[in-house]
Amino acid sequence: MNAAAPIVSAKALTKRFAETAAVDGLSFTVNRGEIFGLVGPDGAGKTTTMRMLAGVLPPDTGSIVVDGIDVVSKPEEGKQHISYMPQRFGLYEDLTVDENIRFYADLFEVAAGVREERAQRLLTASGMSQFRSRLAGQLSGGMKQKLGLTCALVHTPKILLLDEPTTGVDPVSRRDFWRILYGLREQGVTILITTAYLDEAERCNRLALLHAGRILYCDTPVALKQRMPGALLVISSPAGRKVRAAIVGQAGVSNVILVGDGVHVVVDDPHTCIPELGDALQRAGVPFTGIVAGEPSIEDVFVSLLENTGKTQ
């Protein structure tokens, strides 16, 4: 098979549930060995897309080819090569860590020696080796997710589908998690991940921004940032909401995003806007400690791209 050809190719996927079009004409490709991120607000259609790729939900229309296998017409063939980790914890809470691993290894017919070696390595990497005889239901959220990943990796998938694997996971576990993912990428495993954390999106090779079942943009994080119209200003202030109220609607200001210690403002021209915004804030009597030009995060990009879409629609 051609190594340069995309390993996943989805074309014109649609899936309706009664009145809602959960996925509405989605097309994208994933290259071999990359980490591909699907990002979007709740209800954007991320889970539905993942399910269709995993072969557990047939699309209404469209085609999915994973490593040369037509997943829509032959879902069972694809399942040999795909590992899917659902958004909702799907392991058996009344089975121990080891029993869960063994169960999935057996379903994928992994030899006992191989299973043991992999389980050992993966559990050590995620700091879970001392919990092997603990019931899965008694693990913390982060550990559950790492167990899910271990089970997903106990066979050798060509492609790994992770649906919000780090939601509700503590920062340390998230770091472990990503370290494992990078290791996998080095081994040539292709990873498709959805995430609600936009800082995580930045770790992906490529990103698709999903909204209402459609892909708005699909590119590398760097390229996406360049697509952001205008420039970003960071206003540091203890009263972010007041700042926003004072500057929304000013000439040249297209987006105001609340962040922890102030606001991010997307503007057309930073040189003229910095003094103008300073004046506006002083007039309104809102306290602030500085206005500087900043590097947009993927979150800024995402919010401003989404808002622009909303305006043009």
Partner 1 sequence: MKLRRLRAIAIKEILQIWRDPRSLMIALLLPFTQMFLLGYGVNLDLKHLPVCTFDREGSQLSQALLKHFQASQYFAIVRNVASYPQLVSAIDHATCGLAIVIPPDFSERLNETGTAPVQAILDGTDDNTANIAFGYAAAVVESYSADVQLNWLDRQGRQLQQIQPMSVQSRVWFNEDLESRNFIIPGLVAVIMALIGAQLTSLTISREWERGTMELLVSTPVRPIELMFGKLAPYLVLGWVDAAFCVGIATLWFGVPFQGTLLTLFLTTTLFLTVVLSLGYLLSVLIRSQVGASQIALLVTMMPTTLLSGYIFPIDQMPKFIRALTYLLYSRYFVTIIKAIFLKGSGISELMTPILFLIVYAVAVMCLAARALRKSLG
Ligand X SMILES: Nc1ncnc2c1ncn2[C@@H]1O[C@H](COP(=O)(O)OP(=O)(O)O)[C@@H](O)[C@H]1O
Which residues bind to ligand X, rule: CB under 6 A?
A: 17, 20, 22, 40, 42-48
Residue 197 lies near partner 1 (rule: CB under 8 A):
no
Please, which residue, 104 or 302, has the CB nearer to ligand X? Answer: 302
Please, which residue, 12 or 107, has the CB nearer to partner 1? Answer: 107
Residue 115 lies near partner 1 (rule: CB under 8 A):
no
Please, which residue, 22 or 234, has the CB nearer to ligand X? Answer: 22
Please, which residue, 42 or 295, has the CB nearer to partner 1? Answer: 42
Give min distance, CB of 149 to partner 1, in A. Answer: 12
Question: Distance between CA atoms of 216 and 269, rounded to whole angstroms?
Answer: 25
Residue 79 lies near partner 1 (rule: CB under 8 A):
yes
Stretch touching Mg ion by CB under 5 A, among 38-46, 103-111, 224-232, 271-279: 38-46
Residue 103 lies near partner 1 (rule: CB under 8 A):
yes
Number of residues that bind Mg ion (CB under 5 A): 3
Give min distance, CB of 91 to partner 1, in A. Answer: 7
Q: Which does 40 bind (CB under 5 to 8 A by kind): Mg ion, partner 1, ligand X, none?
A: ligand X
Number of residues that bind partner 1 (CB under 8 A): 31
Judged on CB neighbours under 10 Å (0-12, 13-18, 19+), 209 is buried
Give min distance, CB of 1 to ligand X, in A. Answer: 30
Please, which residue, 91 or 273, has the CB nearer to partner 1? Answer: 91
Q: Other C-beta atoms within 10 Å of 193: how many?
A: 26
Please, which residue, 92 or 182, has the CB nearer to partner 1? Answer: 92
Stretch touching partner 1 by CB under 8 A, among 73-81, 191-199, 213-221, 272-280: 73-81
Contacting positions for partner 1 (CB under 8 A): 51, 54-58, 75-76, 79-80, 82, 84-86, 88-95, 99, 102-104, 106-109, 135
Contacting positions for Mg ion (CB under 5 A): 46-47, 87
